[in-house]
Every structure is written in structure tokens, then in C-alpha cells.
Amino acid sequence: MLIPHSSLPRHAMPDAPSDANLSAMPIPSFTRAQLVAGAPGPETALTIGVLDGVHRGHQALLARLRDEARKRALAPGVVTLHPHPITVLRPEIAPSYLTSLEDRMELLRQAGADWVIPLTFTGEVSEISAEELATAFFETLRMRLMVLGPDASFGRGAPKDTPERMRALGAELGFEVVQIEPLMHDHERYSSTAVRKALAAGEMERVTALLGRNYTIGGPVVRGFERGRTIGFPTANISVAADRALPGIGVYATRAHVTGRTFAGATNIGKRPTFDAGHISVETYLLDFEGDIYGERMDLEVLHRIRAERTFSGIDELKAQIALDVAAARELLK
């Protein structure tokens, strides 16, 4: 399986094949076509991975990639896999995405990549050996340097000795391999898993520390039940992609960006138990706002958790609590 940076739990990985079988799987034509179409032209330095979230560990990897590339006059870039390999191979345990593919590619460019190629991951691609894939990079992308993360393992079987295999192949073909050391935060390694864990717990300050930026979710403003309007707190409901990771259920202080303007907000992420809604919704009361923004895209920076979601005895109790939430959001966002 082609699984970069230990994306798949070890217990879920099949045994790596013997060396005799490593080159048995040719590169699928659609994979080679994607590489050829995205090839930047100059000789390149690259890293490969899902890199979901582009957290500070990924940013350190990209910074090292950029620096090493400059020393060698190479064009630094990323081959990012999409969908996530686990989504294809073990869909029952597939993680939610911290970033959309488009946002991920933009963040990778901001972090130092001159070029980014999204490589479609399929069951067929999972059977490509690390050697076959690296050879394809060497041939189509003119790769002369591969920079690997601290736990790098990719190719069929996700072998733990991927860095050693790449060094051996590089010596044969003519490319270098550099591997970076782990980057830690509060005695924990930066990882997309750590970000998802903090996000699910509503620990937004920790999420921000791990990402190096505020966590943002977005989507078009859609019509909801409009109950907020009837109680004096009209909300903007956004439709978020079903595979996007959301903060844990609760009320949050947020900063909303819509129609070129920015507003403070109090956002409820949850099931609205007082009204027996049942499904997860993301609805925001925008402070000091009047107008109609249905159909507009709204992006929410989720900054601080105010409280857990709970059921209220009636509308009056709910209105009183929303007023407190709005006051708390206003104070937190000063």
C-alpha cells in the first residue's frame, strides 16, 4: 500500500512484500499522466504525503525542503495524496479532513512549495512499491532530492525501512535523500491525529498552536429552520462538507468572513437538542450585523470554546443563555 508518513495504523497494514516482488506493479497510466501534467520543468526536490492540515510539523518539513532545494538550485514541491489512503483501504476508520484539497494545496504553497501535484489514490495505486513510485518521480518530475518526514513510510506495505530503501535507490539512480527529525509540542509530536484529537475536544487554543493558525471551516450560507430569528437571534447556517472535521459539539467564539467583511460571532456546533434537531449543524449569530447573506460563502475561524451544548427547559431559558453566549463571545474577541 502506498501510505506516506505512517497514515495507516500499523495493525491495519498488510505485510510488506518480498524484495523479489517490489517491482512487479507498473505505474498506472493515470498516475503517470498526473505526474507528467504537473511536472514543473526544472529539476526538483520533493516530499510525498497526505499532509492534511498542513500543521507545524508539515511546515517544518516544507521549510527544510525549500532550504535544501535552494542549496541545489532545485524546484521544491509536494506530491499530495487524495483521497486519504485510509479512506480507500479502510473506509470504516477513515479520518475526517482538516483541510479541503484546494485549501491544502494553497497552504503547501504558502509553506514553501513552488509546485503541488494532487495524486489520486486508488486501490491500484496502493499496490505500487516505494521504488516504483520514486523511479516515476525521478523520470517524470526530474527529482534529484527527496525530503522525508520523521516517520516516512510509503509504497506497497508501507515498509518501515522506506528511508533506507530510498537512499539505496537514490545511489543507483542519482538522487539524494534527506530525513528530518521529529518536531514536538508539549511532549507530543506534531501530527494530523493530534490536531483532530484537540479539535474533537474543543481545545481550540491547542488546535491553533498545533496548526500555527486558527482553524477555519466554511461553506455557503443556507436556510435553516429560522428559529433564531423568531427569538431575536437570527443565525447564519453554513453547509460544511460531510468529510470535514468539525470542532466538538458546543458553542464557540468565532470570527466570520463573508462578502469581504469580518464579524465577531457566537457559533453553535451541534444537534440543537432543545428543538430535537438530531443532525449536526453549524449556525452563527453575527454580532452587529444586519442583512441577507443567503447563498454567500462564509468562512469561520473557530477561536474559543464558550460552553458545551445542552438542552433547555424552554425558549426563555434558551434566549437568556444565548445572550450570555453573545456577551462571552464579544469579550473573548475584543
DSSP code per residue over 126-149: GG--HHHHHHHHHHHS-EEEEEE-
Q: What value does the mean pLDDT take over residues 150-165?
A: 90
Residue range 199-220: mean pLDDT, rounded? 98
Average pLDDT, stretch 230-247? 91
- Are both 117 and 171 inside the same structural domain? yes
Residue range 65-87: average pLDDT? 98
Cα–Cα distances (Å) from 106 to 43, 80, 113, 116, in that order, read 22, 12, 9, 9
Tell me what the mean pLDDT of segment 254-260 comes to: 98
Q: Are 278 and 149 within one domain?
A: no
| Residues 259 and 159 placed together within one structural domain of the fold | no
- Residue 297 β-bridge partners: 220
| Per-residue pLDDT tens over the stretch 296-312 | 999 999 999 999 998 89
* Amino acid occupying residue 268: N
* Beta strands, E only, 240-322: 250-258, 261-270, 281-286, 297-307
Name the residue among 103, 110, 117 with its Cα closest to residue 41: 117
Q: Residue for cell digits 453554513?
A: 238
CB 287 within 8 A of CB 264: yes
Mean pLDDT of 128-136: 97
pLDDT beyond 90 at 325: yes
Residues 6+ apart with CB under 8 A from 168: none
Structural domain count, the chain = 2
Residue 72, pLDDT score: 98
203 domain-assigned:
no
- 5-14, 133-142, 187-196: segment of lowest average pLDDT: 5-14
Model confidence at 229, pLDDT cuts 50, 70, 90, reads low
By residue range, what is the domain housing residue 140?
4-185
Q: What value does the CA radius of gyration of the chain take, rounded to a whole number of Å?
A: 23
Give domain status of residue 105, yes or no: yes
Which pLDDT score is estimated for 26? Answer: 78
158, 219: one domain: no
Say what the pTM is.
0.88
CA dist list (Å): 216 to 211, 245, 266, 289: 11, 10, 14, 20
Confidence of residue 231 (pLDDT cuts 50, 70, 90): confident
Average of per-residue pLDDT across 225-249: 87
Name the least confident of 29-38, 58-67, 184-193, 284-293: 184-193
Q: Is residue 190 part of a domain?
A: no
The answer to whether 145 and 69 have CB atoms below 8 angstroms apart is yes
- Report the candidate in 211, 191, 189 with the shortest Cα–Cα distance to residue 303: 211
Q: What is the CATH number of the domain that holds 299?
A: 2.40.30.30
For residue 18, the model assigns a pLDDT of 40
Grade residue 276 by pLDDT with cuts at 50, 70 and 90.
low
Q: Is residue 192 part of a domain?
A: no
CB under 8 A, 24+ apart: contacts of 98-107: 98/52, 98/53, 98/55, 98/192, 98/195, 98/196, 98/199, 98/211, 98/215, 98/245, 99/52, 99/53, 99/54, 100/241, 100/244, 104/51, 104/52, 104/53, 104/54, 104/80, 105/80, 107/54
pLDDT at 272: 63
Least confident of 65-74, 128-137, 204-213, 268-277: 268-277
Q: Are 157 and 18 in contact (CB under 8 A)?
A: no
**Does residue 41 form part of some domain?**
yes
User: At 284, is the secondary structure helix, strand, or coil?
Assistant: strand
Contact status, residue 236 vs residue 256, Cβ threshold 8 Å: yes
126 and 273, same domain (yes or no) = no
Average pLDDT, the chain: 91
Confidence of residue 4 (pLDDT cuts 50, 70, 90): low
49 and 170 share one domain? yes
β-sheet bridge partners, residue 175: none
